[in-house]
Chain A
Amino acid sequence: MERVARIAPSIGAAAAVILAVGLYLGLVAAPPDAVMGELQRIMYLHVPSIVTAYLAFTVVFCASMLYLWKRDLRFDAVAVSSAEIGVVFTGITLATGSIWGKPTWGVWWTWDARLTLTAILFTIYVGYLMLRAFAEDPRAAARYGAVLAIIGFLDIPLNHFAVYWWRTLHQPSSLLRAGGPSVARAMLVPLLVNMLGLMLLYAYFLVRRVQLERVRHRILEGRLRRGRRG
């Protein structure tokens, strides 16, 4: 942990530099979209955010499994930290999507499959954070949180089917599709650079947030010990 904490500033610096390059490439250097014009540039933030959010929730799932297996609160610290950051990135995705949707589709919000799915994801993990806030004992919070994170993660593919059969309006994914990405190279490069930048930013936040959580654990444990003695 200490070793990771020591390289945290370098991770943060790398994230800042790469994001600066990516945003320059995306917002200035890349050509405007043929149909949507300058508006489409919001994609360079929108798409990397949701990819990073999914990464964060995958980390929550793995850390939760590890916690239930090893019973080491350090894994739980990773899970709760990653969930918090994932919620923030999901929020950014919803916000930028709304801003993009208003001029393109004419509405801030529509019950399209992908939007709905992202909103469900948001509610599941906000619920996760609330559950943790309401559990008093850190070990109980960790166990309940881990169980909820595992159920929630398994729920995602089911939600996916349900929502897609229900309706679809969103443009299909331009990155993950059979036959390779459908984005022009001039747009793909800034997209990927930003994605790397946001993931590094996520890693930086994660390390810092885990440090905070460890400090919180130590304070709580100290308080419990003193309470028992007194």
Chain B
Amino acid sequence: MSAVGEVLRRTWAMTRKDVTVELRARERVNAMLFFAALVLFIFNFALGPDREKLREVAPGLLWLAFLFTGILGLGRSFQAERENDCFEELLLTPGDRESIYFGKLAGNVLFMVMAEALILPLFGILYNLDIWAQLPGLALVALLGTVGFSTIGTLLAAMTAHLRAREVMLPLLLFPLTVPVILGSVRATEAILSGSGLGEVGHWLKLLAGFDIIFLVVCPLAFEFVLEE
């Protein structure tokens, strides 16, 4: 118990640090929220005002907005440490590295969920979709998908932070690896929006949950090798 409690305490310290920095500087969340609104706006020009057509592609659009916004936030998740030359200090954090990983992950999920909480209602209003009746199901899928996307995303963000061309490399590596998340989330959202219950999307939810569990175990282990200097 005490070992788990210790990891949780350190994780919380890391998350709180990132959230505090974010609250003071507001670099990441503001950009994410504005970008999210912009994406919804741009989709309209790409697809035209045809309501029926929009309804058909809505689940995919919704997730594109989520993921593009999410990757914007992930790309910044180690920026503060890199720009201020604080990676060594990060490594000096007492305890296992996995607390750093879980702390960063929790922050990334939190920021992405905040963006989604704005995108979802805005999407419903702009594209005239009734999301309110399906909200619990949609929220569940969004959470599972977001966690899955962020598990590998946080790991790769730490990795690409040291590279040349890091802004390009993160999406190039992350999107192919998260195809199961993207596919599962979009299909489940599609089914839920068309009115089927959670029972009918059970296999997709299981896939998302399986993905989350596997990479919640593997990524913290791999993280140790990424941070090593």
Q: Which residues does A use to contact B, with CB under 8 Å?
A: 68, 120, 123-124, 127, 130-131, 134-136, 140, 143-144, 146-148, 150-152, 154-155, 158-159, 161-163, 165-166
Contact = CB atoms under 8 A, between A and B. Distances in A.
B210 interface: yes
Nearest to A143: B225
Contacts of B219: 151
B218 A150 contact: yes
B210 A147 contact: no
8 shortest A-B CB distances, which residue pairs? A123-B176, A162-B180, A158-B180, A162-B183, A127-B173, A124-B176, A147-B222, A134-B163
Interface in B176-229: 176-177, 179-180, 183-184, 187, 203-204, 207, 210-211, 214-215, 218-219, 222, 225-226, 228
Interface stretch (B90-98, B105-113, B164-172): B164-172
B180 A161 contact: yes
Contact of B183 (A140, A148, A150, A166): A166
12 contacts: A127-B173, A130-B169, A130-B172, A131-B160, A131-B169, A151-B177, A151-B215, A152-B177, A158-B214, A161-B207, A162-B184, A163-B183
A135 B166 CA distance: 10
Interface of B: 152, 155-156, 159-160, 162-165, 169, 172-173, 175-177, 179-180, 183-184, 187, 203-204, 207, 210-211, 214-215, 218-219, 222, 225-226, 228
A151 B152 contact: yes
A188 B92 CA distance: 59
A135 B163 contact: yes
A151 B152 CA distance: 8
Given A120-B179, A131-B173, A166-B183, A158 B163 contact: no
A166 B172 contact: no
B180 A134 contact: no
Given A135-B163, A136-B164, A150 B184 contact: no
Nearest to A165: B203
B211 A158 contact: yes
Contacts of B228: 143
Contacts of A136: 164
The B interface, classified by DSSP as helix, strand, loop or mixed, is: helix
A140 B219 CA distance: 17
A158 B222 contact: no
Contacts of B179: 120, 155, 159, 162-163
A135 B169 CA distance: 11
B176 A127 contact: yes
A62 B203 CA distance: 31
A191 to B, nearest CB: 30
A140 B175 CA distance: 22
Contacts of B165: 134
Contacts of A123: 175-176
A147 B173 contact: no
A140 B156 CA distance: 14
A148 B225 contact: no
Interface centre among A120, A123, A147, A165 (most CB of B within 10 A): A147
Contacts of A152: 177
A131 B162 CA distance: 11
A209 to B, nearest CB: 22
